[in-house]
Amino acid sequence: MSTTLVTGLVIGLIAVFCLYLLFKAAGFLLRLGLVAFVLAAAWWYLAPALGLPPIPL
């Protein structure tokens, strides 16, 4: 194997690994946003019934 081929394979593996991490991070951020949205919606819906202050806007 030539060094050019090995270098290309290493760069390709690093690129695939970085894409994998990017998708994992994006999925985590989307899940975090969804949880925040659900918690805010639950607070908005339940706060008046429980006598709690509304979400400050």
Q: Where are the domains of the chain?
A: 23-50
pLDDT digits (tens, 9 = 90+) for 4-43: 899 999 999 999 999 999 999 999 999 999 999 999 999 9
CB contact at 8 A, 55 and 46: no
Confidence at 55, pLDDT banded by 50, 70, 90: confident
Whose tokens are 């994992």? That residue is 24
pLDDT of residue 42: 93
Task: Answer whether residue 1 shows pLDDT above 80.
Answer: no
Compute the distance between CA of residue 35 and CA of residue 23 in angstroms, rounded to an integer.
Answer: 18
Quote the CA–CA distance of 19 and 14 in Å, as a whole number.
Answer: 9
State the pLDDT at residue 56. 73
